[in-house]
């Protein structure tokens, strides 16, 4: 019985890692599609979201099933509660990658970004990919030092998000077209939320590893 339980806990942790790897692929491809107006790659990201939803739902069912049958306590119970929350955040991160891909598809064959925003979004995309990679590592190795690194990356992302708005509003010499403003505002918001969810996952892992309640 105890051995079955240990196996089930491992399966739940593996499921989270697998979900995080799908998110990493989704955000890498979505930002590449966005930067390069690659409609085929955008389509691939949009289609792959179904897999993420299915995997998250399966994982949640497994957690609920283990809660019912094994009635875990202490750190095992914390893993269950954290898993339910982390799977929701991972699912949402994949949705945000999908939204970025949808922007690329919607404007195709035109570029989504005006030239003067390319560099800032390249930076945001790079941070997103780093965050996704750190989340995979955190879930796999459970090394708490990764948590701080994820928070630092999110600070960088928030700074870039503010810069995007400053640039949109100060761009009086060469005013942007309305569709450019719409796309830039939405894309920047999607990146910012992607980072917020990465931090939410880092906090859940902190809770699971430390047993301390999650701080705001």
> How distant, in Å, are the alpha carbons of 30, 69, 210, 213 from that of 91?
15, 26, 24, 23
CA 77 to chain centroid = 24
Q: Report the C-alpha gap between 163 and 169 in whole angstroms.
A: 10
Looking at 64, 141, 142, 210, which residue binds a second copy (CB under 8 A)?
64
- Per residue in 177-210, is it b (16+ CB within 10 Å) or e — as a string? eeebeebbeebbebbbbbbbbbbbbbbbbbbbbe
If one asks whether residue 209 binds a second copy (CB under 8 A), the answer comes out as: no
The answer to whether 4 contacts a second copy (rule: CB under 8 A) is: no
Residue found by looking up tokens 């955008």 in the block = 42
Interface segment toward a second copy; rule CB under 8 A; list 16-24, 31-39, 66-74, 136-144: 66-74
Q: Does 61 bind a second copy (CB under 8 A)?
A: yes
Q: How far is the CB of 50 from a second copy (least distance, A)?
A: 8
Q: Is 73 in the site for a second copy (CB under 8 A)?
A: yes
Tell me if 185 contacts a second copy by CB under 8 A: yes
Asked if residue 44 binds a second copy (CB under 8 A), the reply is: no
Evaluate the CA torsion angle 30, 200, 58, 208 in order and state its sign: positive
Say whether residue 84 binds a second copy (CB under 8 A).
yes
C-beta closer to a second copy: residue 39 or 81: 81
The interface region with a second copy, picked from 32-40, 73-81, 131-139, 147-155 by CB under 8 A, is: 73-81
By CB under 8 A, is residue 17 in contact with a second copy? no
Q: What is the CA radius of gyration of the chain?
A: 19
57 sits near a second copy (criterion: CB under 8 A): yes
* φ, ψ of residue 199 in degrees (nearest 5): -65, -40
Residue 76: closest CA among 86, 63, 88, 85: 63
Interface residues with a second copy (CB under 8 A)? 53, 57, 60-61, 64, 67-68, 71, 73-74, 77-78, 80-81, 84-85, 88, 165, 168-169, 171, 175-176, 178-179, 181-182, 185-186, 189, 213-214, 216
């Amino acid at each position: 019985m105890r051995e079955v339980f240990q196996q089930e806990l491992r399966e739940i942790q593996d499921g989270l890692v697998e979900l995080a790897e799908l998110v990493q692929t989704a955000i890498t491809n979505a930002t590449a599609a966005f930067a390069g107006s690659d409609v085929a790659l955008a389509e691939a990201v949009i289609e792959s979201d179904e897999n993420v939803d299915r995997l998250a739902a399966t994982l949640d069912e497994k957690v609920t099933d283990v809660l019912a049958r094994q009635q875990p306590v202490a750190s095992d119970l914390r893993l269950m509660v954290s898993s339910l929350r982390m799977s929701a955040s991972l699912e949402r991160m994949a949705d945000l990658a999908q939204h970025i891909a949808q922007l690329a598809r919607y404007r195709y064959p035109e570029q989504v970004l005006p030239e003067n925003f390319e560099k800032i979004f390249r930076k945001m995309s790079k941070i997103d990919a780093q965050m996704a990679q750190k989340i995979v590592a955190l879930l796999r190795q459970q090394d708490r030092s990764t948590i701080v690194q994820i928070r630092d990356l999110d600070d960088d992302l928030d700074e870039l998000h503010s810069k995007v708005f400053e640039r949109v509003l100060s761009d009086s010499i060469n005013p942007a077209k309305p569709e450019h403003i719409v796309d830039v505002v939405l894309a920047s918001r999607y990146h910012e939320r992607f980072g917020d969810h990465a931090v939410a996952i880092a906090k859940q892992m902190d809770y699971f590893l430390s047993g301390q309640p999650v701080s705001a």
